[in-house]
A and B are shown apart, each in its own frame.
With several copies, the nearest count.
Chain A
Amino acid sequence: MHTNEDARHELSVRVRDLNLWYGNSQALKNVNIDVYQKNVTAVIGPSGCGKSTFLRCLNRMNDLIRNVRTEGLIEMDGRDVNEPRMDEVALRRRVGMVFQKPNPFPKSIYENVAYAPRMHDLVSRKAEQDELVEQALRDAGLWNEVKDKLQQQGTSLSGGQQQRLCIARAIAVQPDVILMDEPTSALDPISTATIEDLMDRLKQQFTIVTVTHNMQQAARVADYTAFFHLGELIEYNDTRMMFSNPHTKKAEDYITGRYG
């Protein structure tokens, strides 16, 4: 376990001895990690190593899967997110998520963004709501492209635009942390570049944890990188350190493309 103890960053999520089983097969083994505020943390590793599983632990989306058993501590604001009294709905409001395949709701672009803030009572008047939608779309770098067609279906946008819409939707509820599970893997190179830029800007406001199977992407966007292998966290470090000088053989092999 290699944890970067750099003090310039404040802790956002603390994970200790996290184990997770799907039925009888263990998908995460003894994971310890500290996620720092207003940074991008990338999670890399070969297919099936538990990247997505780890990510879903952070906002308890794993609760939706049957037969999952979790052990260990995940702490946010000093509270264990798995404690019985923790309301997972509240947790998910504070820990937003963006998925691999863009999944806008089959509603208008406006509604896609306005839906959650309205339900959460974050806005009361229409004007406030309009403002919030505009702000979120601006932050997601989509405003200029859609400002004239806010009433069109969200699904009518291109893939990259849809993904940015999903990001806008996530940031509209002002979460602390945004989880992204391979947010660019279904996108073309140009959209990918846009999203990568966006992540760079968003980390001013939000803590971002992103999964990627593309090492180059991790190198480009992440401040910290965690390398998983067969459910274990093999190495966690400052990204530059990780790519220039991996401590473990496995990480080195993976990064240099010896397999995967």
Chain B
Amino acid sequence: MLTNQIYLLFSAVLIALGLAAFFLARARASHLRMNGTAMVAQPDQYAWFSVLSTAGPALLAAALGAFVLLLLGADIPILYLLGASLAVAVIGLLVGLVQVRPDFHARQAIERVIHGILAAAALVSIVTTLGILISIVFEAVRFFQMQGFWDFITGTTWAPGNSFLAAAGRGAENASAAQFGSVPLFAGTFIITLIAMLVAIPVGLLAAIYMAEFAPARVRNLAKPVLEVLAGIPTVVYGFFAAITVAPIIVDVAGFFGLEASFNNALAPGIVMGIMIIPFISSLSDDVINAVPDSMRQGSLALGMTKAETIASVVLPAATPGIISASLLAVSRALGETMIVVMAAGMRPNLTANPLEDMTTVTVRIVAALTGDQEFESAETLSAFALGLVLFVVTLALNMVSVIMIRRFREKYRTNDL
């Protein structure tokens, strides 16, 4: 294909020019130095500078051209683009050679470029966040135009059924209008998250206390990676486990106590999600507990406190902000967890507090809406983006709080550091 050949040609010429730049500049610098000129940089540094000045601008020009060409749809013949960028490369080469002067700080110049590249890499993370925002905001706004932001946030009925029919052209007059009240979805999400936390926080925290304070080194070295395996198990696998193994057990157990449990009960995904999150809590808590300076423990033990008293009244209070922040991070993981609930939780927007009933979550609805059968422009499909947006905002807020908590934690024991 033509484009492939053009890539090939471009890279080949550029590499050739780069090599030329390297050797020419180095030769020139060595020559100057041989003649006894004192130079502020070393020949290799001049050489690398020339390579940068040859390839950098050329690559930038090519990328810019390709961008204009592909995305703005401008009509530049591709050969012109190729020629132009190679011309830039040649100019860069000449500039690089001219710069082989005794008083030119080639090393500093190179390092400025490296600094720039590193900074650009750091910006990728910001661009990613913006990208996520951009990719959900527009569709979410369209949804809000159709359905109203307030109804969405405060409504307690999620009944998109009729929007589907309306889109199918058979909306019935006496049928009630579609309702997109997201409260039941968020309630379901929070209840499942709560169940997960009720499993994960006590078990995780106690396990962390054991590992950090009691366990012999051998147990600790073994337990940590073993727990990390729990965190590494893919969530589909947990989903399968929750749906096929755990849910029926819960129904049986509930039946034994004379309770009625749905097969899509919230307990199964909640518990399994909790198991998944245990290592997350335990290893973060283990870290913060270990970060509590030993001098505090010794101070307490030297007063004749038992180990448990030391843990309860000195270590844990000092570590609390860190533990809370770990838990908040865990909460945001649970809120956004998708596969477990897709496979094991129900689809019914059900505003209830009974974990034996089935309920649905935000992520389940996002997946369902985006892989469902309605028209793409229908309100139900767009609701996925609105739900995504709210989820994004919630996790963002949780994370901010946890950042603040962590900072407070650091301050707390830094003051002791004198």
- Asked if the two chains touch in their complex, CB atoms less than 8 Å apart, one says yes
Identify the stretch in B265-273, B311-319, B368-376 within 8 Å (CB) of chain A at 4 or more residues.
Answer: B311-319
- Please tell me if the beta carbons of A155 and B415 are within 8 angstroms of each other in the complex: yes
Chain B residues closer than 8 Å to A159, beta-carbon distance: 418
Q: Is B260 engaged at the interface, CB distance under 8 Å to the other chain?
A: no
Chain A's interface size range is: 35 or more
- Please tell me if the beta carbons of B105 and A103 are within 8 angstroms of each other in the complex: no
Closest Cβ–Cβ distance, residue B80 to chain A (whole Å): 43
Q: Is A21 engaged at the interface, CB distance under 8 Å to the other chain?
A: no
- Please tell me if the beta carbons of A89 and B298 are within 8 angstroms of each other in the complex: no
Bound CA span A102–B313, Å: 18
Q: Is A119 engaged at the interface, CB distance under 8 Å to the other chain?
A: yes
Q: Is A50 engaged at the interface, CB distance under 8 Å to the other chain?
A: no
Number of A-B contacts defined by CB within 8 Å: 82
Beyond the given A97-B298, A116-B303, A121-B42, please list 16 additional residue pairs across the A-B interface where CB-CB is below 8 A: A64-B301, A87-B105, A89-B107, A89-B305, A89-B306, A91-B304, A94-B304, A96-B302, A103-B295, A105-B296, A105-B299, A105-B300, A106-B318, A155-B416, A159-B418, A170-B303
Q: Render A159-192 as a binary contact track against B, CB cut-off 8 A, 1 for contact.
A: 1001000100110010000000000001000000
Q: Is A90 engaged at the interface, CB distance under 8 Å to the other chain?
A: yes
Bound CA span A119–B308, Å: 12
- Please tell me if the beta carbons of A120 and B317 are within 8 angstroms of each other in the complex: no
Chain B residues closer than 8 Å to A1, beta-carbon distance: none
Bound CA span A119–B107, Å: 12
Q: Given A101-B418, A116-B305, A120-B304, do A61 and B298 touch, yes or no (CB 8 Å)?
A: yes
Number of residues on chain B facing chain A (CB within 8 A): 29
Question: What residues make up the interface of B, taking CB atoms closer than 8 Å to A?
Answer: 40, 42-43, 105, 107-108, 217, 293, 295-296, 298-306, 309, 313-314, 317-318, 412-413, 415-416, 418
Bound CA span A94–B303, Å: 9
- Please tell me if the beta carbons of A170 and B305 are within 8 angstroms of each other in the complex: no
- Please tell me if the beta carbons of A61 and B301 are within 8 angstroms of each other in the complex: yes
Chain A residues closer than 8 Å to B418, beta-carbon distance: 101-102, 159, 162, 186
Bound CA span A166–B295, Å: 12
- Please tell me if the beta carbons of B416 and A93 are within 8 angstroms of each other in the complex: no
Chain A residues closer than 8 Å to B318, beta-carbon distance: 105-106
**CB proximity to B under 8 Å, residues A67-103:** 87, 89-94, 96-97, 99, 101-103
Bound CA span A9–B300, Å: 31
- Please tell me if the beta carbons of A106 and B317 are within 8 angstroms of each other in the complex: yes
29 A-B pairs with C-beta separation under 8 A: A59-B302, A61-B298, A61-B302, A64-B298, A64-B301, A66-B217, A89-B305, A96-B302, A97-B302, A99-B298, A101-B295, A103-B293, A103-B416, A104-B416, A105-B296, A105-B300, A105-B318, A106-B296, A106-B415, A115-B313, A116-B305, A120-B304, A121-B42, A155-B412, A156-B415, A162-B418, A170-B303, A173-B303, A186-B418
